[in-house]
Amino acid sequence: MAILFKSGPVSTARWKPFLTAAWPGRDLRFWPEIGDKAAVDYALVWQPEPGLLASLPNLRLIISLGAGVDHILRDPQLPPDVPILRLVDPYMTRAMSEYVVLQVLRLHRLDFDYRAQQAAAEWREHAQKNAAERRVGILGFGQLGQDAAKKLAGIGFDVAGWSRSGREVPGFATYGGADGLDALLARSEILVSLLPMTPETEGILDARLFARLPRGAGLVNAGRGRQLVEDDLLAALGSGQIGAAVLDVFREEPLPAAHPFWRHPRIIVTPHVAAETHPPTAAAIITEAIDDLEAGRPVANLIDRRRGY
């Protein structure tokens, strides 16, 4: 019975002490030291290379070291019947909400304008709405989207959410499907995307979508980079259809130094840090999932492969 951990070197160094403490005496293996592959029954992974999971013949559970699972599902050789667990960690959820609140406030309070004015030593005031007069739309109304909505509503923002199912969430206007998207976009002066990466959401943040937002809308993307059509965003910023954007995720990460986003005056870039995995709390959640599986109890937060998230 062995547990394999596969991530980058920095993440491995951060996780190691917590995993060792969580599973004293268990056979823990840190990639690339896999040893006997037949002995591995659990794999904790971030961006496993294609074929790695298929090479473990007795795997019982694949555990994503993040909330998203696109980095696992993209493997064409992924073993079809092994369940996949995604991280749902209240610590991470709170981190994402902090990020969303910060960026929505930044857009709401015209921070891009005032930073630019400071650089030019220009003293000029703009009309300022109150949060209650600012409509925020959240694409992806799951764990992260709903918590962010609650925190934004606590400040007074008028928040609505969009999901695949159009699920009802008490206290919020919710929308679902293609028709629902039109309605959500029409009311969103600030649009926050917290969508999982699936074939349906790839490229969803494109010129067609931007055109349906109120003119000058702000955008926050902390879902996945491949959901954004980068040239369409640059064009929408150029025309003023999008007023400013805050981006945490990118098609290519790290974002190449020559990429125009780095120096665009109406874009803020953060290096995929909106909600980092937190090993102390995540290790406890993973332990519980493994205990449940071994005891024959239902395991929470297994993904539905057909939906892709």
Chain CA centroid to CA 258, Å: 24
Residue 302 sits at the vertex; the CA angle it makes with 301 and 307, to the nearest 5 degrees, is 110
Q: How many residues does the chain have?
A: 309
Q: Is 224 a catalytic residue?
A: yes
Residue 124 or 306 with smaller CB distance to ligand NDP: 306
140 binds ligand OXD (CB under 6 A): no
Give long-range contacts, CB 8 A cutoff, 24+ apart: 302-308. Answer: 302/83, 302/84, 302/85, 302/86, 303/69, 303/84, 303/85, 303/86, 305/73, 305/84, 307/164, 307/198, 308/69, 308/70, 308/73, 308/196, 308/197, 308/198, 308/199, 308/200
Binders of ligand NDP in range 88-117 (CB under 6 A): 96
68 binds ligand OXD (CB under 6 A): yes
Beta strand 173-176 with 158-163: parallel, antiparallel or unpaired? parallel
225 binds ligand NDP (CB under 6 A): no
180 binds ligand OXD (CB under 6 A): no
Q: Which of 4, 61, 67, 160 binds ligand NDP (CB under 6 A)?
A: 67
Nearest distance, CB of residue 39 and ligand NDP, angstroms: 31
Q: Which of 48, 137, 140, 218 binds ligand NDP (CB under 6 A)?
A: 140
Site string for ligand NDP, 272-291 (x = CB under 6 A): x-xx----------------
Residue 205 or 222 with smaller CB distance to ligand NDP: 222
Residues that bind ligand OXD in the complex, under the rule CB under 6 A: 66-68, 275, 277
Catalytic center residues: 224, 272
